[in-house]
Structure 1
Amino acid sequence: MEINENAHDQIVQLCKQGDTLFDKGQTDKAIESYTAALDLVPLPKSEWDTSTWIYTAIGDTYFHNGDYEMAKNNFFNALNCPDGISNPFILLRLGESLFECEELDKAKEYLLRAYMLEGYKIFFTEDDKYIGLIIDMI
């Protein structure tokens, strides 16, 4: 089952627009673009590859906005979409969001999963506090 071509083209365009807005620091407008793209994905959204990357983009934007609760919610949604559970970036950002929400036991779980898939390199550009949470476990 595939999303029809017209809807797919609109989704791609809205996500590109969201990426551009994010890069310009217009994160609220980026979230609007990503959400509009997500609205075009058929139900149940968790069955579509497209949803994996849209939820990830929304979650990452909320993370950069400092809205860690919304980031966490979107990363959990992405995790439940195709290949989400094996995506190291989703696991990393989910762990970081949980850390910021002071859910440290859950944060450890997802940060450790990201580490197991990608190793230390996934943490290179991240704040040291995140790797510090799991350093005694690796």
Structure 2
Amino acid sequence: MELDDQAYKRIVQLCKEGDTFVEMGQLAAAIESYTAALDLVPLPKNDWETSTWIYSALGDAYFYMKDYENAKNQFYHALNCPDGVSNPFLLLRLGESLYECGDLEKAKEYLLRAYLLEGYKIFFNEEDQYFKLILDLI
């Protein structure tokens, strides 16, 4: 399925706006832009590729705000969208969010999935504790 051109252009515009807000450290404004973009996606939202990257962007913004519970929820939504289960970044951030929420067993599962898809390089710019959690599994 494809979105109509007008809706798609508006979604892309709102997401770019959100990305700019993230770069400027204005995370609450970024979340507003991403949420507005998501509101333009028809139901069921998990049927659309655009939802995968919007939910991921929302999760990432919440992650940077250290609102790990909301981050985790957004990444779970993204996981259920097209190509979500094969997106290493999404798996990494979901694992990190779960770690920060104290669910270490689930965190291991998703961090290991990210590692299996991308190898150690996906952990290069991340805090050491996330990779250390799966070290004995690899």
Fold equivalence (TM over 0.5): yes
**Cα deviation digits, residues 84-138 of structure 1 (max 9, x gap):** 0000000000000000000000000000000000000000000000000000001
CA distance in 2, matches of 1:118, 1:8: 30
The percentage of counterpart residues that share the same residue type is 70
Residue 94 of structure 1: aligned partner:
94
Aligned residues: 138
Distance 1:38 1:71 in 2: 15
TM-score, normalised via structure 2 length:
0.99
SS in 1 for 2:95: helix
Deviation of 1:50 after TM superposition, in Å, equals 0.2
Match of 2:109 in 1: 109
Tell me how far apart the structure 2 counterparts of residues 75 and 46 of structure 1 sit (CA, whole Å).
Answer: 12
**What does 1:1-138 correspond to in 2, within 5 Å?**
1-138=1-138
Q: What TM-score comes out, normalization by structure 1 length?
A: 0.99
Structure 2 alignment gaps of length 5 or more:
none
Gaps of 5+ in 1: none
Moved over 2 A (4+): none
SS of alignment partner, residue 116 of structure 1: helix
Query: AA paired with 2:108?
Result: K
Q: Which letter does structure 1 place at the counterpart of 2:44?
A: P
Other structure's SS at 1:113 match: helix
CA distance in 1, matches of 2:2, 2:127: 39
Q: Return the offset for 1:26.
A: 0.4
> Please, what is the CA RMSD of the aligned residues?
0.4
